Amino acid sequence: MSGKIRVLVGKPGLDGHDRGAKVIARAYRDAGMEVIYTGLHRTPEELARMAVEEDVDVVALSILSGAHGTLIPRFIDCFKKEKATQDLDVLILAGGIIPEEDIPALKEAGVDEVFGPGTSTETIVEFTRSHLKRPVA
C-alpha cells in the first residue's frame, strides 16, 4: 500500500571520503526512497548484517580506496550467508573509482552495475528504480 524503496548506502573499507556517498544518499532521498546511511569504515561483514536487518531493496557501495576487488565480493558472500540464499533479490550497485578492467570480475561476483565518478545522480536513481529485483509494495 505505502511501500518504500529502501537503500543501504555503504562505505566499506578504509578510505575516509564520504562526499560521494552522501550525494547519492541525498539523491535517493529526494527521489522518495528511504536511505540507510552506514557511516565510514564498515567491514563487508558489518554491511551484510545491516543490509539484512534493514531489509533493503538496494545496496549501493562507494569505494575510493582501490580495494573494491576484495571488499565487494566479500560483501556479497557474507550477504548471501546472512540471508541464507544463493539467489539475492537485492540490487547491488558499486560506485567510486573503479577501473574499467575490474568491472567484469565484479559483475561476475554479483554486482549488477558499476557507476563511474562522472555518472549523474539522475542516471543512478533512474537505473535503480527500473532494475529492482523484487516488487515494492
Q: If we measure between CA atoms, which residue out of 53, 6, 54, 3 comes closest to residue 28?
A: 6
Nearest approach, Cβ of 11 to other proteins (angstroms)? 10
Kindly tell me which residue out of 15, 54, 77, 102 binds other proteins, with binding defined by CB under 8 A.
54
Instruction: Say which residues have a Cβ less than 8 Å from residue 85's Cβ, sequence separation at least 6.
Output: none
How distant, in Å, are the alpha carbons of 46, 52, 69 from that of 75?
9, 12, 11
Q: Give the angle 47-49-53 at the CA atoms, nearest 5°.
A: 115
- Is 80 a binder of other proteins (CB under 8 A)? no
- Is 45 a binder of other proteins (CB under 8 A)? yes
Kindly tell me which residue out of 35, 61, 106, 124 binds other proteins, with binding defined by CB under 8 A.
35
- Is 38 a binder of other proteins (CB under 8 A)? yes
Q: How many residues does the chain have?
A: 137
- Is 15 a binder of other proteins (CB under 8 A)? no
Chain contacts with other proteins (rule: CB under 8 A): 1-4, 6, 25-26, 28-39, 42-43, 45-46, 49-50, 52-55, 82-84, 134-137
